[in-house]
Amino acid sequence: MPGPLDGFRIIDLTAMVSGPMATMLLGDQGADVIKVEPPGGDLNRRLGKTRNGVTAIFLTSNRNKRSIVIDLKTSKGRALLAELVATADAFVQNFRPGAVERMGIGESAMRRVREDLVYVSISGFGETGPYAQKRVYDPLIQALSGLASIQGDRGAGRPRMVRTIIPDKITAITAAQAITAALLARERTGRGQHVRLAMLDAMVALLWPEGMARHTFMSGASRDRPIAQDLVFETTDGFITAGTVSDSEWEGMARATEHPEWLDDERFRTSEGRVIHAKQRLAMIERALKNRSTDDWLERLDAEQVPCAPILTPAQVIEHPQVAANQLVVEGEHALVGPIRQPRPAAIFSETPAAISRQAPALGEHTDEILEELGKSAADTSELRSAKVIR
Amino acid sequence: MPGPLDGFRIIDLTAMVSGPMATMLLGDQGADVIKVEPPGGDLNRRLGKTRNGVTAIFLTSNRNKRSIVIDLKTSKGRALLAELVATADAFVQNFRPGAVERMGIGESAMRRVREDLVYVSISGFGETGPYAQKRVYDPLIQALSGLASIQGDRGAGRPRMVRTIIPDKITAITAAQAITAALLARERTGRGQHVRLAMLDAMVALLWPEGMARHTFMSGASRDRPIAQDLVFETTDGFITAGTVSDSEWEGMARATEHPEWLDDERFRTSEGRVIHAKQRLAMIERALKNRSTDDWLERLDAEQVPCAPILTPAQVIEHPQVAANQLVVEGEHALVGPIRQPRPAAIFSETPAAISRQAPALGEHTDEILEELGKSAADTSELRSAKVIR
């Protein structure tokens, strides 16, 4: 059974992460994603530690795609792209605002060859405004969206970055959803459209529900929300987390730690009181949990139905029994780098399964195959190659 | 113009965040989302600081929905739900695995009344395995997915939580995309299906591209990746971030800070060298940036085309000119709490705009209206109310 997006073709001119992860998700779900790369290739192929010229991040942002190299600085290259777009359902790009128009591959040019195209523009900051033309890196969005401030140290007030590129990646999922919605609308209306998404907008929208809770009510809400203490507890051999929100969970914690006197403490008798006195309560829990091992505590807390989990390193995640039960990590073979590990697509479809059906392509690996599908003769292809239009 | 999901009806039995934010996104895009609540309502209505009985987080996870209260413990309540599902395209629930079957509202029961239904189950850890029956809180997923470890302190190795509920929220967007994809597949095949998504899976899949990069190549990659230093720099009156990846950006930084001698330093001559010697380089930048104000530095760095941004608090985000240019924050009026602020839906559709067309509903606000649409007479409704089937 093919995936839910089987039969849709996406022309993907994106680079780095925000665009490639979006189109990968669509590829996972069966779309025919054609990654159009410049002669030098997507920069993400070589930013960081490479093996045989490939980075790990590239592999997990570009599986389920085919790669064709086209030099769009040539008019023949642009003509070839137009031929490809004529066969496609969606076109996705994440150049800086205005660049596609200068390159001659803007929405109006592409819509001339494919009237019902879903044309997608992903930007860093938006298409107008003081930041529109700035180069974007993930930390800039963490800074501008309030995420770095929310992550900051209590007390000292020094901001801190989240150590994974959340803005890039949530933009990717948000874009994938929007593209899918535009394709769904097109099924009913027969019409394409332009979908625009800024990383800044995606990040602020994601943060808002609790991150910006204090700014939701417009009157009397000027102070920023005090930041809650981390639910991180050290054990004799590692770290665990545990939650005690409900009465029964709090009672379970007191039993598991053999501190029945906690239940007599007026401050902690209600869930509201436990929030107000969180600092004292968490310090008590922290002291109590120091004297046994992680496994011991997890067993005791589980027995009392206190929600808990070990804090795993990335290496431990792969080995964890729940991750194994979910069959989440799949091993594959990549032509250039050998055996690799990746997560399967997260959402599981009973009738139209998403799957890893091909690994990330080598640069231009499918140039000839795609030209042949377009009806080019071997002579045509050879001529385009000599003229350095394709590689 | 209605949104891209206009004409689709979603029956939403989810509570808290992972489910409600998913269906809100579909509601933003025009779907008719009917939130079915138990007599006590979604717990998220009252977890935290309330105003007039409403929390801020509830408002930004439940707009563009209608609320009906049905007591599903009664057989008449379940019959009423079945009548609703018969009119719907998708059904979304995030109870613990197995609960819907015990409640008599599992997939097979719902498919009997609507054969082509898209039935969606969101879980914390997965439907089988040692954690399947555990209660889930966001920190547990941060712990199990490796996120808390990646966020940890350098050196000391103490894990740290990300201070926004990333697992809940990325599960929501991932679910919204999967639901949209399943609806799109149904347009072509005429068939519904069961879509399953675990928060743990969504978080690990999101983290992987760089967070698990060292575990992607399966041979010779046992050490966890050293964590990069934060790109946070203190100024005389605040904090900024700035990136110096390319040669030109590094040269721009040296000019902006009036440190031409940095360009003679062999260690920093190549982008690779700048990564290897990041610690020394960032310490130099940190010292250099301490002596001027944020505005002054942003102007100087901009002039030299060094990517940079101020690190904004949530309150400052709302006032920032780029956020204003994007018209990202919209003000509205909520019947119970007065004026509120929210972000507009992040993705902008040129032909089928997403919009905030109604604010989050009061508990059971639309019970009568929805029953009337189902063709119930006033007498029927009154009888259901007396029998405490609806509220």
pLDDT tops 90 at residue A10: yes
Using a pLDDT cut of 90, give the percent of chain A over it.
86
Q: Please check whether residue B336 touches A, CB under 8 A.
A: no
What mean pLDDT is reported for chain B? 94
Residues of B in contact with A158 (CB under 8 A): 232, 234, 239
pLDDT value for B51: 87
Q: How many other C-beta atoms are found inside a 10 Å radius of the C-beta of residue A53?
A: 13
Judge: A182–B339 Cβ closer than 8 Å, yes or no: no
With beta carbons under 8 A apart, name residues in chain B contacting A202.
346-347
For residue B32, what pLDDT band results from cuts at 50, 70 and 90?
very high
Give pTM, 2 decimals: 0.96
Q: Could you tell me if A151 lies within 8 Å of chain B, comparing CB atoms?
A: yes
In angstroms, the CA B254 to CA B257 distance is 5
> Per mean pLDDT, which range of A12-26, B224-238, B293-307, B353-367 is the poorest?
B224-238
**Percent share of chain B, pLDDT over 70:** 97
Identify the pLDDT of residue B391: 87
Q: Give B157's pLDDT tier (boundaries 50, 70, 90).
A: confident
Residue B245, helix vs strand vs coil: coil
**Residues 6+ positions from B384 with CB-CB distance below 8 Å:** B76, B80, B371, B376, B390
The string of DSSP letters for B132-177 reads TTS---HHHHHHHHSHHHHTSPTTT------SS-HHHHHHHHHHHH
Q: Write the pLDDT tens digit of every residue in B318-328.
A: 999 999 999 99
CA dihedral sign of residues B199, B201, B202, B208: positive
ipTM of this model?
Answer: 0.96
Q: Is the pLDDT of residue A267 over 60?
A: yes
The answer to whether residue A228 scores a pLDDT higher than 70 is no
Interface test with A, best of B317, B333, B359 (most A CBs within 10 A): B317
CB within 8 Å: B224 and A314: yes
Of the pLDDT bands very low, low, confident and very high (cuts 50, 70, 90), residue A11 is very high
What integer pLDDT is reported at residue A245 of this predicted model? 84
- Long-range (24+ apart) CB contacts under 8 A made by A129-133 are A129/B321, A129/B322, A129/B324, A129/B325, A129/B326, A130/B321, A130/B322, A130/B325, A131/A200, A131/B309, A131/B322, A132/A97, A132/B322, A132/B325, A133/A96, A133/A97, A133/A98
Of B159, B165, B217, the CB nearest to A56: B217
| Closest Cβ–Cβ partner in B140, B174, B351 for A173 | B174
Q: Is the CB of residue A40 less than 8 Å away from at least one CB of chain B?
A: no
Q: What is the pLDDT of residues A191-217, one digit of tens each?
A: 999 999 999 999 999 999 999 988 999
Give the Cα separation of A315 and B146 in Å (integer).
8
Model pLDDT, residue A354? 96
pLDDT of residue A220: 67
pLDDT in tens, A297-312: 999 999 999 999 999 9
What is the rounded average pLDDT of the residues B71-75?
97
Distance separating alpha carbons of residues B310 and A159, to the nearest angstrom: 11
Q: How would DSSP label each residue in B208-222?
A: HHHHTGGGTB-SS--
Strand A329-334 relative to strand A308-310: parallel, antiparallel, unpaired? unpaired
Alpha carbon distance A180, B187 (integer Å): 12
Contacts of B225 in chain A (CB under 8 A): 314
A346 and B182 within 8 Å at the Cβ level: the answer is: no
Residues 218-277 of A with CB under 8 A from B: 218-219, 222, 224-225, 227-228, 230-232, 234, 239-241, 243, 245
- Is the Cβ pair B163, A148 closer than 8 Å? no
Residue A236: C-alpha distances to residues A241, A293, A296, A297 (Å) = 14, 5, 10, 10
Nearest to A150 among B173, B213, B314 (CB): B314
Best to test chain B binding among A215, A295, A301 (most B CBs inside 10 Å): A215
pLDDT score for B11: 98
Considering A160-174, A219-233, B38-52, the range whose residues carry the highest mean pLDDT is A160-174
pLDDT at B226: 52
Go through A325-354 and write b for each residue having 16 or more CB atoms within 10 A of its CB, e for each that does not.
Answer: bbebbeeeebebbeebbbbbbbbbbebbbb
pLDDT of residue A296: 98
Query: How many degrees, rounded to 5, is the angle at CA B354 between CA B353 and CA B360?
Result: 150
Residues from chain B contacting residue A137 (CB–CB below 8 Å): 243, 245, 307
Q: Average pLDDT of chain A?
A: 94
How distant, in Å, are the alpha carbons of A9, A54, A55, B217, B368 from that of A358? Answer: 16, 16, 17, 16, 52
Contact B137 A243 (CB under 8 A): yes
B95: nearest Cα among B68, B117, B115, B119: B119
Q: Are the CB atoms for A317 and B146 separated by under 8 Å? A: yes
User: Which one, of B224, B262, B225, B264, lies nearest residue B244 by Cα?
Assistant: B262
Query: How far, in Å, CA of B318 to CA of B329, rounded?
Result: 7
Express each pLDDT in B269-287 by its tens digit: 988 888 889 889 999 999 9
Nearest to A13 by CA among A132, A134, A96: A96
pLDDT tens sequence across A51-84: 888 899 999 999 999 999 999 999 999 999 999 9
| B135/A189 CB distance under 8 A | no
Q: What is the pLDDT of residues A310-365, one digit of tens each?
A: 999 999 999 999 999 999 999 999 999 999 999 999 999 999 999 999 999 999 99
CB contact under 8 A, B322 and A131: yes
Write down the pLDDT at residue B194: 98
Residue A234: closest C-alpha in chain B: B158
Whether A229 has a pLDDT exceeding 80, the answer reads no
Predicted confidence at residue A13, as pLDDT, reads 98
Strand partners, B70: B390
The dihedrals phi and psi of A194, each to the nearest 5 degrees, come to -105, 125
Residue of B nearest to A186 (CA): B4
Distance of CA B65 to the CA centre of its chain: 17
Q: Where are the alpha helices (DSSP H) in chain A?
A: 20-28, 56-59, 75-85, 99-103, 107-113, 138-144, 147-150, 166-189, 199-211, 247-256, 271-276, 278-289, 294-303, 314-319, 321-325, 367-373, 378-386
Sign of CA dihedral A81, A134, A180, A328: positive
- A contact test, residue of B25, B49, B60 with most A CBs within 10 A: B60
In A, which residues are within 8 Å of B200 by CB distance? 322-323, 326, 328
B117 vs B229, residue with greater confidence: B117
Whether residue A224 has pLDDT greater than 70: no
- The shortest CB-CB distance from B341 to any of A51, A149, A216 is to A216
Question: What pLDDT score was predicted for residue A90?
Answer: 98
- Give the pLDDT of residue A206: 96
- Two structure tokens written together for B245: 């990846």
Structural tokens at position B359: 């604010």
* Per-residue pLDDT tens over the stretch A97-121: 999 999 999 999 999 999 999 999 9
Beta carbons of B211 and A164 less than 8 Å apart: yes
Smallest CA–CA separation between A55 and chain B, in Å? 8
Domains of chain B, CATH where assigned: 9-208+325-386 (3.40.50.10540), 233-310 (3.30.1540.10)
Can you give the length of chain B in residues?
391
